[in-house]
Amino acid sequence: MPANVGPAKNVIIMIPDGMSVAGTTLTRWVDGGVKPLAMDELACALVRSYPSDAIINDSAPAGTAYACGITAQTGNIGEQEVYAGFDVVLGGGQKFFQPDVRKDKEDLVKVIKANYDVVTDTAAMKASKSAKLWGFFGMNGSTDLGYDLDRDPALVPSISEMTDKAIATLSSNKKGFVLMVEGSLIDWAAHANDPVGIVGDINAFDKAVTVAVDYAKKDKNTVVIVVTDHGNSGISIGNASTSSGYDTLKLSAVVDPLKKATRTAQGVADLINADRSDIAEVVAQYFGLTVSDDEIAKIKAAKDANDLRYVCQAVLGAKMAAAAKLGFTTGGHTGEDIELYVYSPKTAERPMGVVMNTDIARYMEKLLGTDLRALTARQFQLAPAAFAAKGAAVRFDFSDKANPVLVVMKGSKELKFRQNKSVAIVNGKETRLSGLVLYTGIAGGENWYVPEDAIELVN
Ligand SMILES: [Zn+2]
């Protein structure tokens, strides 16, 4: 890490989820191989990325390391979306905010609508003038945005359009901003071993990097950090079939099959007709491959629309990989070092060499002139001890297991705090807090944490 890192007004951190270096190389070749990717000029270091209890990272602990500067256990995440008070949130997954799929049965869409201008298509997003903007986009039953190649541009904005809108909205804040942009479907395509999806979504992500870097170059006070959270799939250019002959493998052998595909394998599945009589035609037209009778039979046997997607990804992804001489070693994440890309107006102050993933948080800390440890001490105070010091009585209400409540009494005042919310209920009336209330569920309910202004409420 560089010793001196000067402050920056704005930081944009961009995370191409599950992007392996070979996927980046492949995207550059498919794009023509001459023009560099937007990321290329920013490459500056390698990053070690692993959780505290394993050697291959998952998205949650990896994201926590970037956000909090702490190596977390797998399965744990230090983030909260709805109650965190963000100004702009654009993405998919509306389904997961609805009471019927939530353990706590809370209607988070209602909470969001009370605090944000909520938009659900590209035109509405572009037209919104609100400083508090939430976008719920997505075609697949609102669970995700869908792959870039399969996207309906009227319903789902591209990642570069979302980045552009987020910067336009946030940059009106004179104090500066922090923006996190995630290219999430790169990871999904890698899990599915679909090289078409990998290349399509890295390409879309790289265009968003252009938008961010163009802004940073004009602004002269913005740093752009691009770093994945972990590798995925073990994608390789060259596979078992090129063990001999790799040194004469021509570019066209790799990129020509990929270029013929205009939809991902999942997108192809969605285009097959209801009686599945046009599998060969749809695959030929949108994936550029000729499927065998065996392959048609496998696809035809899919149980339902969702299974059809999985089967198409398995059959067509493997077929494309074989055609383009690509290898995959796993359907899971991989543990190699990952690439760090940084645009900074002060080039000499970029991290270099091999750094830890937690160093990314330390770097942002320096850029933003903040102290995460001091902030943690202020905003996550151990509630029982802090309230007891104020002469208040504390009890825990676990009558609804999915919604435990911390109850604090002093004189005629009753304060109630629910976990994972930045809200206090003072004598029955809701008051907004500056941070979240956390309950860790460890040690018999003692570990409740509250922000400093929650403690002041007993006065
Ligand atoms: Zn991830």
The pLDDT tens digits for 389-430 are 999 999 999 899 889 999 999 999 999 999 889 999 999 999
Between the CA of 229 and the centroid of ligand 1 the distance, in Å, is: 5
Between the CA of 283 and the centroid of ligand 1 the distance, in Å, is: 29
Between the CA of 208 and the centroid of ligand 1 the distance, in Å, is: 18
Between the CA of 49 and the centroid of ligand 1 the distance, in Å, is: 11
Between the CA of 158 and the centroid of ligand 1 the distance, in Å, is: 20
Between the CA of 362 and the centroid of ligand 1 the distance, in Å, is: 20
Q: Report yes or no: 277 and 297 within 8 Å, Cβ to Cβ.
A: no
Q: Give the CA-trace dihedral at 365, 371, 372, 378, to 10 degrees.
A: -150
Between the CA of 333 and the centroid of ligand 1 the distance, in Å, is: 8
Between the CA of 14 and the centroid of ligand 1 the distance, in Å, is: 12
Lookup: tokens for 375: 């902030």
Backbone angles phi, psi at 223, to 5 degrees: -105, 135
State how far the alpha carbon of 436 is from the alpha carbons of 80, 431, 449, in Å: 8, 12, 8
Between the CA of 192 and the centroid of ligand 1 the distance, in Å, is: 14
Least Cα distance to 46 among 279, 258, 353, 324 occurs for 353
Residues measured by CB to lie within 5 Å of ligand 1, the ion: 17, 59, 187, 229
Between the CA of 57 and the centroid of ligand 1 the distance, in Å, is: 8
What does pTM read for this prediction?
Answer: 0.95
Q: Report yes or no: 180 and 361 within 8 Å, Cβ to Cβ.
A: no
Between the CA of 23 and the centroid of ligand 1 the distance, in Å, is: 15
Q: Give dist(CA 427, CA 414) in Å, integer.
A: 5
Between the CA of 282 and the centroid of ligand 1 the distance, in Å, is: 31
Between the CA of 384 and the centroid of ligand 1 the distance, in Å, is: 35
Between the CA of 383 and the centroid of ligand 1 the distance, in Å, is: 33
Stretches in the chain below the pLDDT threshold 70: 139-142, 441-446
Between the CA of 65 and the centroid of ligand 1 the distance, in Å, is: 12
Between the CA of 452 and the centroid of ligand 1 the distance, in Å, is: 32
Between the CA of 225 and the centroid of ligand 1 the distance, in Å, is: 16
Between the CA of 426 and the centroid of ligand 1 the distance, in Å, is: 39
Q: Report yes or no: 55 and 332 within 8 Å, Cβ to Cβ.
A: no
Between the CA of 12 and the centroid of ligand 1 the distance, in Å, is: 18
Between the CA of 58 and the centroid of ligand 1 the distance, in Å, is: 6
Lookup: tokens for 443: 């040690």
Taking the chain, what is the end-to-end CA distance rounded to the nearest angstrom?
44
Between the CA of 264 and the centroid of ligand 1 the distance, in Å, is: 20
Between the CA of 232 and the centroid of ligand 1 the distance, in Å, is: 8
Between the CA of 79 and the centroid of ligand 1 the distance, in Å, is: 14
Between the CA of 348 and the centroid of ligand 1 the distance, in Å, is: 29
Q: Give dist(CA 314, CA 319) in Å, integer.
A: 9
State how far the alpha carbon of 21 is from the alpha carbons of 61, 231, 264, 390, in Å: 21, 8, 20, 54
Q: Give dist(CA 446, CA 39) in Å, integer.
A: 46
User: Three-state secondary structure along the chain?
Assistant: CCCCCCCCCEEEEEEECCCCHHHHHHHHHHCCCCCCCCCHHHEEEEEECCCCCCCCCCHHHHHHHHHHCCCCCCCCCCCCCCCCCCCEEEECCHHHHCHHHCCCCCCHHHHHHHHCEEECCHHHHHHCCCCCEEEECCCCCCCCCCCHHHCCCCCCCCHHHHHHHHHHHHCCCCCCCEEEEEECHHHHHHHCCCHHHHHHHHHHHHHHHHHHHHHHHHHCCEEEEEECCCEECCCEECCHHHCCCHHHCCHHHHHHHHHHCCCCHHHHHHHCCCCCCCHHHHHHHHHCCCCCHHHHHHHHCCCCHHHHHHHHHHHHHHHHHHHCCEECCCCCEECCCEEEEEECCCHHHCCCEEEEHHHHHHHHHHHHCCCHHHHHHHHCEEHHHHHHHCCCEEEEECCCCCCCEEEEEECCEEEEEECCCCEEEECCEEEECCCCCEECCCCCCCCEEECHHHHHCCC
Between the CA of 17 and the centroid of ligand 1 the distance, in Å, is: 5
The full set of domains in the chain, from first to last, is 10-237+330-376 (3.40.720.10), 248-327 (1.10.60), 379-456 (3.30.457.10)
In this prediction, residue 444 carries a pLDDT of: 55
Between the CA of 358 and the centroid of ligand 1 the distance, in Å, is: 16
Between the CA of 432 and the centroid of ligand 1 the distance, in Å, is: 32
In this prediction, residue 330 carries a pLDDT of: 98
Between the CA of 187 and the centroid of ligand 1 the distance, in Å, is: 6
Query: For the segment 365-383, what is each residue's pLDDT rounded down to a tens digit?
Result: 999 999 999 999 999 999 9
Between the CA of 394 and the centroid of ligand 1 the distance, in Å, is: 39
Between the CA of 249 and the centroid of ligand 1 the distance, in Å, is: 32
